[in-house]
Amino acid sequence: MLRVLCLLAVVDSVLLLDSGMLFPRESASREVKELNGLWAFRADISPSRNQGFEEAWYKSRLIESGPVIDMPVPASYNDITQDPSLRTFTGWVWYEREVVVPTRWITDEEIRVVLRVGSAHYYSVVWVNGVKVTEHNGGHLPFEAEIGSVIRKDPTAKCRITIAVNNTLTLETLPPGTIQYMNDPTRYPKGFFVQNIFFDFFNYAGIHRSVLLYTTPKAFYVDDITVVTDFSDNAGLVNYKVSVKGSAAATLKLTLMDKEGHCVASSSGSVGALKVADVKLWWPYLMHENPGYLYSLEVHLTAANDKSTSEDVYLLPVGIRTVKVSSTQFLINNKPFYFHGVNKHEDSDIRGKGFDWPLIVKDFNLMKWMGANSFRTSHYPYAEEILQMCDQHGIVVIDECPGVGIKDIRSFGNASLTHHLVVMDELVRRDKNHPSVVMWSVANEPASEMPPAQFYFKTLIKHTKDLDPTRPVTYITNSNYARDLGAPYVDVVCVNSYFSWYHDPGYLEVIPIQLNTQFEDWYAKYQKPIIQSEYGADTLPGLHNDPPLMFTEEYQQAVLQHYHNVFDQKRKHYVIGELIWNFADFMTVQGITRVVGNKKGVFTRQRQPKAAAFILKERYWRLANETGKLPYWTKYPCSL
């Protein structure tokens, strides 16, 4: 009983957020209309980048204020044209699309119409028919606005959606950056400026994820759902809280269904617990014959006021599992879990960071082919559809916020921290119900030795735990164990290191001793389990040399093998995972250390394997054999 009460307290604390961000799903009461495809587009190339606001480009069709080009949504705009100035453009760009809204959505005043942007990088302002409906600060996370009253003003007009997006990064954005003007007319053209960034991936920009219209009933609707799961013996427990907007007098019915659609538990009321007999737990890929088992929670709301009654139905996939951390282990369903996986990027040719189903399915096939059971969303939250795939396939996720490149002491100030807390709110609100998400990462390689880092990370990690006390919290460090000021607050130590690459380049023989020292020092100081959250070497596919030389396929293989020998000793004790940097090559800014991007992928940017991919494949399947159970279909290798 005590455990049930504690878990309900958890559900409550998560819901301190004031409104939900449920993934738009069709149901008996909800419709979804995708607005992907070609939008009209113009970059504001005026020196101030402010012409669009001065001339109010949102007031009429974009084509009326100047030339436009076709721009696909979702996609980054950077690699779509042959124009070098658009590739590296910094400032406001304008998107516009006219939409035909079903007449019923306009005439039926009982329908709530919501415009949702899956993500746009970085700052967005949205107008509908010239009326500002919302603005949002930050890329990688969704935002939405109710637009019913605006489109009902003139029911005969087309619905014109204008979105202005600004990719400028400042010391207070996440990730941070600075704008630097070069004012010497003998060296730079007039008005020349650069966007400095402190992270190693291209600052792709634009509307990166789907833009949708969706409906819910207007008077009463399901605004948010939080589930926290547990089990004991073979009984599963789904603690839930549903928040309803519109009425206190709503009736809520909840039905939990198994994969076959059979009801396995039901309940009523906005807070409660569903008990599942003979529970099928959610297991990671390669840890169980039947990974990624998902139930379906149907939340059925009926509500009435003196004017109307309405029904709202929302279906939430639910995986029943637990996560715990001890001083030496990471436990999923009370069994030790070893992360053998990858770090990824949302990155590919032409579309940049734009959402793309063929790419996503290909990446999942490659991860499963190589026996990866996990990845980290380096260095920002990935699309919700990717997390849904992880839930279904049992791929475990370390969910990272865009706190990458916090290097300047001014980015540890109050404004930055406040924004970082809001971003964590948005991230937890979006991803809290995914069984695949087992840990939050609040940052990557911040300057955690700077004095303000202590207060910053203490506050940030505490806030994240208050939002979600059910998951461990970490940040990724590359700092020295003795100088890292945030490490006392993390649950799991995640360390990035590049021995024989950035340090002692070319000397493979340093890896065993330096990696051993790294692990021993961190563990001795903190007694917390450790994940090697990055390691690797840049490799040009097809470049060979034996004995191995840097940048050849042989060198990447050798680096990996040297690391693996040490992992094999330490994973018997407190090392709980290894994540290669990187799954695939990816684009970066231009610079003397990058040859058209970062080449540390074990796959090329086009997803072809380098020799190292086979080393990992062999290792990961061996680790899977040792630590887990193979899925039933591995009896039929052809199905891979």
Contact residues for ligand GCB, defined by CB under 6 A:
199-200, 379, 444-445, 478, 496, 534, 581, 598, 600
Distance from the Cα of residue 240 to its chain's centroid: 23
Q: Collapsing DSSP states into helix, strand and coil, what is residue 581?
A: coil
Smallest separation, CB 586 to ligand GCB (Å): 8
Catalytic residue among 144, 400, 426, 445: 445
The yes-or-no answer on residue 445 being catalytic is yes
- Residue 97: beta bridge partners? 161
- For ligand GCB, the closer of residues 353 and 434 by Cβ is 353
Smallest separation, CB 572 to ligand GCB (Å): 26
Measured CA angle at 522 (ends 521, 527), to 5 deg: 115
- For ligand GCB, the closer of residues 57 and 201 by Cβ is 201
Q: Which of 404, 453, 402 is nearest to 423 (CA)?
A: 402
Smallest separation, CB 593 to ligand GCB (Å): 8
Q: Which of 349, 328, 341, 397 is nearest to 574 (CA)?
A: 328
Smallest separation, CB 203 to ligand GCB (Å): 13
Residue entry with tokens 């992270």: 199
Measured CA angle at 103 (ends 98, 107), to 5 deg: 120
Evaluate whether 603 touches 366 at the Cβ level (below 8 Å): yes
Helix %, strand %, coil % of the chain (to 5): 25, 30, 45
- For ligand GCB, the closer of residues 435 and 541 by Cβ is 541
Q: Collapsing DSSP states into helix, strand and coil, what is residue 163?
A: strand
- For ligand GCB, the closer of residues 226 and 500 by Cβ is 500
Smallest separation, CB 249 to ligand GCB (Å): 51
Give the C-alpha separation, 118 to 629, whole Å: 36
- For ligand GCB, the closer of residues 217 and 402 by Cβ is 402
- Residue-wise burial string across 494-529, b where 16 or more C-beta atoms lie within 10 A, e elsewhere: bbbbbbbbeeeeeebeebeebbeebbeebbeebebb
Distance from the Cα of residue 404 to its chain's centroid: 13
Residue entry with tokens 């760009």: 93
Q: Measured at CB, which residue is nearest to ligand GCB? A: 200
Evaluate whether 307 touches 219 at the Cβ level (below 8 Å): yes
- For ligand GCB, the closer of residues 209 and 379 by Cβ is 379
Give the C-alpha separation, 321 to 306, whole Å: 42
Residue 101, both tokens: 């809204």
Residue 102, both tokens: 């079903």
Q: Collapsing DSSP states into helix, strand and coil, what is residue 612?
A: helix
**Count, residues in the chain:** 640
- For ligand GCB, the closer of residues 248 and 592 by Cβ is 592
- For ligand GCB, the closer of residues 196 and 478 by Cβ is 478
Q: Collapsing DSSP states into helix, strand and coil, what is residue 442?
A: strand
Residue 535's Cβ-side half-sphere holds a number of Cα atoms within 13 Å equal to 29
Give the C-alpha separation, 199 to 553, whole Å: 25
Catalytic residues: 445
